[in-house]
Structure 1
Amino acid sequence: MAHVFQVDRVKLLCSCGILKPITAIYFCRHCLKLRCGNCVSHEVDTMFCPNCLENMPSTEARLKKNRCANCFDCPSCGHSLSTRATSVQAPASDDSAKTVARKLYYLSCTGCRWTSRDVGLKDQTVASGAWGELDSPHYKQLQSLLEHFRGVAQREKLERERKRFSKRKTSYLSLTDKYNLSSVMGRKSLSLTAFSAKGDSSQLSEITPSVPSEDVEGLPEDIFTAPVDLSKIATMEQRLASPEWQPTKTADLYPLHKHILVKRSLRCRYCEHNLSKPEYNPSSIKFKIQLGAFYHVPEVRIVKQVQLFSGEEATVQISMCNPTPHDMTVALLPFVPEAYQEPPKKCEESTDSSCLVRVVEIPYENSNLSPTGDVALPQGQLTLAARDDTAEYDDQDSNSNYKDDPQVVAWRRANKVGVNLQVTPHPDASEVRIGFVLRYDYTNTVATASESRTITLNIPMVISAGTVTSKAEVSKSEEK
């Protein structure tokens, strides 16, 4: 079996029906639901260059094709290019017989040792000089196509405006008589007509259709006989990194402007509250709002890997951690896959008066929830202590405050508890997958005075307990 990371072995069932690890899921404190990356809306907050950390407005980034004008990537390996300085002897400006040292700058890659001199770019006299760039051979054709389709879009927009104006014309009659708006509406209709005629005549007449040609440039005569040097031929990644000219040889690789990155905020598509919002400063890694499930849902992990045999019961030990600063009561309930195969009912169908009015349709996907093993869950409830960062420096043992069953609770440290689960794999299973519903008491920090602060929530979880080992394999390993 392929190696599975510890975080991927325990997955939570999102409200949209997708299984995600706790590190890739969010918890909305307002609608009290789990939200993954598929059921949140993504919004761009800021655009910046990852190298010089310069903020860039969206209009400027669009004009620059979402690339930084001062930073470059290596066309050979993709690493960031750095500016190197060198000194050369050049004749003095006042006396040509004398020579003075002059600084020149060039681009160099610290990863693959590629330099701008390899492609024939001249050294610049300033560190942030205007490095030479290749012009696309199809630049004029692409610009004419853009202008043509921009005119088509403008014409369609004007047609929609004209239709909307004609439909509302009858309802405007009473307003024009009452408020004397006839002159204003007349000027608007005339401007729409004149602008549409101008756009149709000027922008759409420049495009010329392409004409197919039967003349195809032939291959070189020595294409099958000349020796091939792969070090001088560009790879597919290097060619596709420059889609304008797609160089076929490494000697034609020019520096690439670095792509602009964005800082994005995530918003719940159901209640439209922010789940994640970073700082505006590009150099800051902090968040104004970060409602990851890791900070609000108990974290469950597999502590010890055990050998699982088909049809035989084994003890799998899991740990539960309380990430909140409040005491938490936890219970493990049986998992019924049929209850989560269909999307939950919409809010309009509910009779609850506290339900939100605005509902956004969230696509629901059915994940593989069928278990391949039986699990005996502990009865009753467990208490998880509140998170305390100073607990690891405290020498006092607080386990005496909890009356735990030693057959269920294996250990207890601060806000973590180890629980034993009895797992029995199915006879025809190769990978054991079990499920249960984690019921816990969540202390809502955004609740009003009239609402209850402590709410009981149910989180379905699916755990990959491991692979089934045959006794023949165990005997062979012992013999070796």
Structure 2
Amino acid sequence: MAHLFQVDRVRLLCSCGLPRPITSIYFCRHCLKLRCGNCVSHEVDTLFCPNCLENMPSTEARLKKNRCANCFDCPSCGHTLSTRATSIQAPNPDDSSKTVARKVYYLACTSCRWTSRDVNLSDQTVATGGWAEQDNVHYKYLQSLLEHYRSVAQREKVERERKRSSFRKSSYLSLSEKFSLSSTSMIGRKSLSSFTSLTSKGDPGLISELAPCVAEEEVDGLPDNIFTEEVDLSKVTTMDQRMASPEWQPEETDCLYPLHKHILVKRSLRCRYCEHNLSKPEYNPSSIKFKIQLGAFYHVPEVRMVRQVELKSEKETNVQISLCNPTPHDMTVTLLPFVPEAYLAAQQKGEELAETASLNTSSLVRAVEIPREKEDLSLSAEVALPQGQLVLAARDDTAEYDDQDSNSAYKDDPQVVAWRRANKVGVNLLVTPRADAARAVVGFILRYDYTNTVATATESRTVTLNMPVIVDVGPVEKE
């Protein structure tokens, strides 16, 4: 029954209208909304090497081109290279007629057996560092391009400042009398105006001397041996191997040099609307804990398929789902009908009002609009939902060791509740696939009471939330 554990069988509808599994969606405890990857701001929290786990500041990582200086990747297969030691016979410095054993180190790949000796890279006498770097013949030209585009960006910035200051027609004296501006702000405005006038006359620091490239009609021809010699594919690099070294792009395998390992990033996620953190990891790269982890899995009732059933077209079938309460508080749940078109229209109207309100605040962080993906939310089956409310017990880690039966404390309808174990409840649904449906997809709104634990008041505050759920019940058999 491995197909029942697929996370995309049960999806929650985010506040932006995109269906996502519960493992890839977040719950904001401040604005009480579901947030997917498009509804959060991704911020760089820590830069580190995945091999040696060394922290690196952002400025240092930028200088090193986001690569570690001590760890290397295999240029052939991309696996991490390891340092190997071997002994060689070297002349004795005291007596040249004798030889002594000396330990040297080289890089080797345990996956494809590539070594640094394949490209005649000299062995090192120390295990860390000291490996020869490959020189780039286009280094000066690339630096001139960087300087050129840096001057272009600076010139565009000055032009934007000039256009912005052109709207302010009032003099500095009238502004100071009307708004009581301080002397420091007046000095800053005058320095900006003088800087703008200087650049408009042609500041040499903002003018690039790079000559534009000119297309040539004649190009170098192919070498003669390309038509006479046979091609040995084992000596020719693949496209992935070439793109792994964009500065050199070697064409032959004997020109592959070790690649410095890429630096990884630990991210912190922030809600775009209320600007609170939803996920923040520990600073230590080796730690897998989180300072803040507001995943929906810890705050929203989890819905799962219990068992797969055979569905037939236009025939009512009993389908069993389970509801799990992940919070340490009792939860009341109600299943309501779900109409995708009406819900999305109301949700979009609410988001527009929230966005208008956020623009009127004095916050410096603004939500950047991301183009929404188009997801098919059409339902292909009818579902008969149980009436009334269901009570989910609070999560208790010691409940599985308790032999006492707690089902007697709840008055459940046996036609609705199939079973109850600790904080989990099995619910029966009646699903009727449509005539033209290949798979039965149903939807409902899960209304539940959430106890907010944010320290905004002396007591916990309980609110009622609506969570749209889309369930892929399974394939429909044609009669």
TM-score scaled by structure 1?
Answer: 0.89
Structure 1 residue 432 corresponds to structure 2 residue 440: yes
Q: 1:422 aligns with which of 420, 424, 430?
A: 430
Pairwise CA distance, 1:79: 0.8
Asked whether the 8 Å contact 1:347–1:355 carries over to 2, the reply is no
Identity within the alignment, %: 72
Pairwise CA distance, 1:186: 10
Please give the secondary structure, in 1, of the residue aligned with 2:319.
strand
Q: For 1:253 and 1:23, how far apart are their aligned partners in 2?
A: 40
Pairwise CA distance, 1:143: 1.0
Q: For 1:381 and 1:182, how far apart are their aligned partners in 2?
A: 62
List aligned pairs for 1:396-407, cutoff 5 A: 396-407=404-415
CA 1:164–1:308 in 2, change beyond 3 Å: closer, same or farther? Answer: closer
1:19-46 C-alpha deviation (Å, 9 max, x unpaired): 0000000000000000000011111111
1:141-191 C-alpha deviation (Å, 9 max, x unpaired): 111111111122223333444555666584422578997789957983697
CA 1:183–1:171 in 2, change beyond 3 Å: closer, same or farther? Answer: closer
Pairwise CA distance, 1:251: 1.4
- Greater Cα shift, 10-19 or 108-117: 108-117
What corresponds to 1:246 in structure 2? 249
What corresponds to 2:138 in structure 1? 138
Q: For 1:126 and 1:387, how far apart are their aligned partners in 2?
A: 55
What corresponds to 2:42 in structure 1? 42
Q: 2:349 aligns with which of 333, 345, 352?
A: 345
Asked whether the 8 Å contact 1:151–1:199 carries over to 2, the reply is no
What corresponds to 1:90 in structure 2? 90
Q: For 2:458 and 2:289, how far apart are their aligned partners in 1?
A: 33
Q: For 1:254 and 1:401, how far apart are their aligned partners in 2?
A: 70
Structure 1 residue 270 corresponds to structure 2 residue 289: no
1:181-240 C-alpha deviation (Å, 9 max, x unpaired): 899579836972697489843563431221222332322334355333322221111111
Paired amino acid for 1:157: K
Paired amino acid for 2:349: K
Paired amino acid for 2:472: S
Pairwise CA distance, 1:5: 5.2
Paired amino acid for 2:77: C
Q: For 2:184 and 2:320, how far apart are their aligned partners in 1?
A: 77
What corresponds to 1:68 in structure 2? 68
What corresponds to 1:111 in structure 2? 111
Q: For 1:444 and 1:407, how far apart are their aligned partners in 2?
A: 32
Paired amino acid for 1:22: I
What corresponds to 1:311 in structure 2? 314
List aligned pairs for 1:15-414, cutoff 5 A: 15-162=15-162, 170-174=170-174, 184=187, 188=191, 192=195, 196=199, 200-201=203-204, 204-342=207-345, 343-346=347-350, 349=353, 357=361, 360=367, 367-414=375-422
Q: For 1:399 and 1:187, how far apart are their aligned partners in 2?
A: 77
Q: For 2:424 and 2:124, how far apart are their aligned partners in 1?
A: 61
Paired amino acid for 1:464: D
Q: For 2:173 and 2:113, how far apart are their aligned partners in 1?
A: 74
- Greater Cα shift, 26-35 or 397-406: 397-406
Pairwise CA distance, 1:409: 1.3
Q: For 1:356 and 1:304, how far apart are their aligned partners in 2?
A: 50
Asked whether the 8 Å contact 1:319–1:418 carries over to 2, the reply is yes
TM-score scaled by structure 2?
Answer: 0.89
Pairwise CA distance, 1:138: 2.2
- Greater Cα shift, 159-168 or 326-335: 159-168
Asked whether the 8 Å contact 1:176–1:182 carries over to 2, the reply is no
The answer for unaligned runs of 5 or more in structure 1 is 472-480
CA 1:318–1:206 in 2, change beyond 3 Å: closer, same or farther? Answer: same
CA 1:193–1:39 in 2, change beyond 3 Å: closer, same or farther? Answer: closer
1:297-350 C-alpha deviation (Å, 9 max, x unpaired): 011010101111111111111111110011111111111122223343247848
**RMSD over equivalenced CA pairs, Å:** 3.0
Paired amino acid for 1:382: L
The answer for unaligned runs of 5 or more in structure 2 is none
- Greater Cα shift, 422-431 or 191-200: 191-200
Paired amino acid for 1:220: P
What corresponds to 1:474 in structure 2? none
Q: For 2:270 and 2:188, how far apart are their aligned partners in 1?
A: 40
Pairwise CA distance, 1:129: 2.6
Asked whether the 8 Å contact 2:335–2:385 carries over to 1, the reply is yes
Asked whether the 8 Å contact 1:311–1:425 carries over to 2, the reply is yes
Paired amino acid for 2:11: K
What corresponds to 1:459 in structure 2? 467
Asked whether the 8 Å contact 1:154–1:199 carries over to 2, the reply is no
Q: For 2:185 and 2:237, how far apart are their aligned partners in 1?
A: 66
